[in-house]
Amino acid sequence: MTFFYKHIVPTGLKIYLKQINLCKLTHRVTKTLRAREHPVTKTLHTHTTLGKITTLFSGAALVDQHEKVKGIFVTGTDTEIGKTVIAGGLAAILKQAGANVGVMKPISTGDMADAEYLKHAAQVDDPLHLINPVSLCHPLAPSVSANIEGKHVDILEISKAYSILQQKYDYLIVEGVGGIAVPINDDKLVVDLIKYLGLPIIIVANAGLGTINHTMLTVEYARQHQIIILGIVLNMLQSGKSSLVELTNPKEIERVTQIPVLGVVPFNEQIGKPNPDSDYLADFISKHIELDFLNLGDML
């Protein structure tokens, strides 16, 4: 049991499992996740073959070579949905709390602005080519941009950079490119990269009209691919007061997905600019997102 807890259960979920008999998970886990029928209470299987251990937690296959890494993969329901601000904000919060946190943007298209934002937010000194090992010129799907440039997006190349960062930091915030089903090369999607890294995800979604459908599709696709979903963050992309849509979407999304909505982040022009003040960014995001899933106590 000790080996299972220390080496198999993803760190982002340890807060939900401490001091709990694994045969009696339901009450405290369910209370923490705020979802009575959340998949985490339904499935827990372990399979061992020739020394390689693969754990199915809520149906999520974890890659054993990265099982000790603490981290989160921030994905979204669309492009330009606010993934960078949320990922940078989480990194800034961890940095402010004294955690040894690193950031990564495995693939970028168009420019390296997202990687620069993350680097500034986390206050790290890593070179951009390490934070962002695959940088493509055209603001298109990675597979399309790479084909135009005569390149191939190699997950092994990303893995090398990830391994270096993994050894340097106790916790990694990794931001995806586009949505979860965006093709990164001829036969791999963003979801394949998530599975390869073995990280749980946070889904960033628009807070406005239409988001229920987009969020539901993203959640179901992640579940089909056995990805652990820690929660959903709703991001307001325009200024102004919350309408009835923004006020009712969080509860309805929780109801239909059985995934906790961690918060609704209001529009803020200041944090959307390049290189915002890291402390201001951390303070703003922490006011609007529940942070229990970060498990700060275990990192400090």
Closest CA to 70 of 13, 2, 132, 3: 13
Give me the pLDDT at residue 55, please: 30
| Torsional class of 51: left (φ above 0), alpha (ψ -120 to 50), beta (otherwise) | left
Active site residues: 105
**pLDDT recorded at residue 240:** 72
Per-residue pLDDT at 270: 92
Q: What angle do CA 45, 74, 122 make, to 5 degrees?
A: 120
Q: How far apart are CA 10 and CA 290, in angstroms?
A: 19
Query: Is 32:15 a contact under the CB 8 Å cutoff?
Result: yes
3-state secondary structure of 232: strand
Average of pLDDT values for 55-74? 52
Polymer length in residues for the chain: 300
Q: What is the pLDDT of residue 299?
A: 57
Angle at which helices 278-288 and 83-96 cross, to 10°? 100
> pTM for the whole thing?
0.77
pLDDT of 6 above 80: no
Structural domains of the chain, with CATH: 2-61 (no CATH), 66-299 (3.40.50.300)
| Rounded mean pLDDT, 114-131 | 97
* Burial letters 13-45, b for 16+ CB under 10 A, else e: bebbbeeeeeeebeeebbebbebeebbbbeebe
CA 176 to CA 141: how far, in whole Å?
A: 12
pLDDT of residue 140: 97
Q: Cβ-count burial of 203 within 10 angstroms (0-12 exposed, 13-18 middle, 19+ buried)?
A: buried
- Which pLDDT value is given to residue 245? 87
pLDDT category of residue 297 using cuts at 50, 70 and 90: low
Mean pLDDT of 99-111: 97
pLDDT in tens, 205-264: 999 899 999 999 999 999 999 999 999 999 998 777 778 988 999 999 999 999 999 999
